[in-house]
Amino acid sequence: MKTFAMALASIALAATGQAQTSIDWFTLDAGGGAQSSANYLVNFTVGQADVGTASLSSPNYRIIPGFWALEDLGPEIALPELSIALNGDDVILSWPSPSTGFLLQDVGSFDSDPPPWGNTAGAVADNGFIRSVTIPHHNAQRFYRLRRP
């Protein structure tokens, strides 16, 4: 009887000493997709994105946490691929034609935020299949991009 009482007391103490666990709330996020523009590709989830309370921002964008309603961003635009090749002392930058509305831009460094991108000097040749710009090679560092304003 003494052993039974001791076992019963141990079970009772274990039951009262056990921590209580609860989940106050939860969310299920589902669906989603991707949208792009001339400058960005955004992957998203439809529903409530629990990203915290702090906003993320820079001079060019802002992301605010919370519930995001679905918005139609319009048709997806195919982004042209920029190619680079050396031809003797010249650099040839090329991209597919047509690529209406895209401008070739360059910058020497990314030391400032935002970088001071500018339109690349030089005539754009277009043979109906490829657009290209030929630039003399000066051993100077340059970065190039196609931008649709």
> What does the pLDDT look like over 69-121, one tens digit per residue?
566 666 777 789 999 999 998 999 999 998 888 999 999 998 988 889 999 98
Domain match, 88 and 142 both: yes
- Cβ neighbors of 60 (< 8 A, separation 6 or more) are 114
Rg (CA), the chain: 30
The predicted pLDDT at position 18 comes to 54
55, 77, 99 - which closes a domain: 77
Instruction: Using alpha carbons, select from 125, 43, 28, 134 the residue that is nearest to residue 86.
Output: 134
Greater pLDDT, 62 or 99: 99
Q: How many domains does the chain have?
A: 2
Domain match, 105 and 126 both: yes
Domain containing 124 equals: 83-147
Distance CA 120, CA 145 (A): 10
Residues in the chain: 149
The predicted pLDDT at position 19 comes to 53
